[in-house]
Amino acid sequence: MAIPIIDIFAGPGGLGEGFSALINDENQRAFKIALSIEKDPLAHQTLTLRSFFRQFEVGDVPEEYYEFVRGKISIEDLYRAWPIEAEHAQREAWCGTLGDPDEHDQNAVSDDEVDDKIRTVLNGEQDWLLIGGPPCQAYSLVGRSRRQERILNEETDKRVGLYKQYLRILAKHSPSVFVMENVKGILSAETSENQVFSKILEDLSDPSACYPQNGENEFNCPGYRIYSLVTEPENFDENGNPTYRPKNFVIQAEKYGVPQTRHRVILLGIRRDIEINPQIIYGRDEVSIGSVINSLPKLRSGLSKGVDSFNAWFSLIEGILEGDTLNDVDAEIITDIREKILQIEDPHFGKGADYIEIENLQIGYLPEWYLDNRLNGVLNHASRSHMNSDIHRYLFVSCFGNIKQQSPKLSDFPEGLLPAHLNVRQGIDDKKFADRFRVQIANRASKTVTSHISKDGHYYIHPDPTQCRSLTVREAARIQTFPDNYFFCGPRTSQFHQVGNAVPPYLAFQIAEVVNHVFEEMEILAVHNN
């Protein structure tokens, strides 16, 4: 029987997708999402659609799903065609705001509602798993540097205390195991009272201690031992708790088959009455961004002003060679720019679309993970439109990366390509955000895909100069290891935001293998003790 999962702060479902993809020895899914909770309505749409997809056995997804993602039928038509599965999906994926939401939030849910829902979906099952990552923007190093903050204020930023909702569910419901994900910045974050990370570890080890013991509300959670998923314990203390250095909880995704340098804190908690020491994930060779995006259809960028045609776009690109724009640029880079311009052709698929029909799509890395031959195409693969001046910058930056094998700093830009922003000179002088325009290097792992990708494409420039554009949603999704048949709902800005905030499903899949082994050991122990 599949192990039930409660997934909170679920986003578009990256963590849950990895767990759901694990097949056990009986050729069945090892885990089943019993409930996922997400407050963002558009991410919730994505979550519900993927839940619908998983109502069917692998390979038995109905043709109507593929008709929907190709834009042939509406989502209402899809759900009407399969009402029972749609109802199950809509029950499983819950749009709700946890914690202490704004009084005007229509999706606000009380603690009692959450508790009732958890009890209902578990239906008496004792062995289950809690997963999720409390919203992490408050802890983000970049986020804090933008706000000039070192000390986090729980009164003014409610996100700081959102992990307490996770904690409350642990204290109230005592799952056998939990997996909690957060940004690396949590290791250095502080409130006025304490270091955030050490406090979180203390709280997670004994969730009940955080709540008053007052009769009917008394929590009797036994507590948890907190493990790293990638490092063996340095030692065990007198209470049997594993001991680590804080950095041991950081998973560097590029070391585990994910084509990006994404560093996240992921904690594995095993209930104290379960005497099992988990395995760890073992490293894999680094995967380049090129190995997962190069096979996708070539596109051109759009023009945000004036006529938006291939001829207008190409004429604009050629204009970089006129005048003194490239003064002081290395001759080798100028030569590469000239050569790449000569190689530009009108891409067959233009600027792309939500669905591009293409047969026999290939990928050199994990084809069994990414590809779905029933798609007969690519989803969410449309380029953005850019300002004329930015297109010249993208061409320069991608050729610079091609030659130098690194992205240029603002100090490497010729005067004619520097942005006209007031803080550009500051970026050059003190190196703050000096890599304002960042190309991904094709033969290396990508830089971290974050929700910032929804704002502009400057940090996510495609390595192919002949396309002169930022990454598409599908390219970002491939870097995040989402399968190609994973469709992201909502406008493109929201799609980017969903992808950037997610846990890479292939990393989650490897975590699921570790967690599944814990549950298998629990089953063996239960049989032995009986």
Catalytic residue numbers read 136
Q: Which residues contact 354 (CB under 8 A, 6 or more apart)?
A: 71, 379, 380, 381, 382
DSSP string, 376-434: -EEEEEEPPEE-HHHHHHHHHHHHHHHHHSSPPPGGGS-GGGS---TTHHHHHHH-TTT
Q: Which residue, 257, 253, 322, 266, is CA-closest to 292?
A: 257
In angstroms, the Cα distances linking 178 to 5, 25, 129, 234, 527 are 9, 23, 5, 21, 23
Q: Which residues contact 377 (CB under 8 A, 6 or more apart)?
A: 70, 355, 356, 357, 358, 361
CA 136, CA 142: separation in Å to the nearest integer?
Answer: 11
What does the block give as tokens for 238?
A: 């007198």
Q: Residue 450 — φ and ψ, nearest 5°? A: -125, 175
CA 270, CA 3: separation in Å to the nearest integer?
Answer: 15
Q: Which residue, 102, 200, 195, 191, is CA-closest to 154?
A: 191
- Angle at CA of residue 350, ends 347 and 355, nearest 5°: 120
Q: Which residue, 513, 450, 519, is CA-closest to 11?
A: 450
Residue the block writes with tokens 């990366």: 401
CA 55, CA 153: separation in Å to the nearest integer?
Answer: 42
User: Which residues on neighbouring strands pair with residue 268, listed in sequence order?
Assistant: 179, 227
In angstroms, the Cα distances linking 310 to 44, 303, 316, 355, 378 are 37, 10, 10, 20, 22
DSSP strands (E only) in 448-522 = none
Q: Which residues contact 374 (CB under 8 A, 6 or more apart)?
A: 61, 66, 485
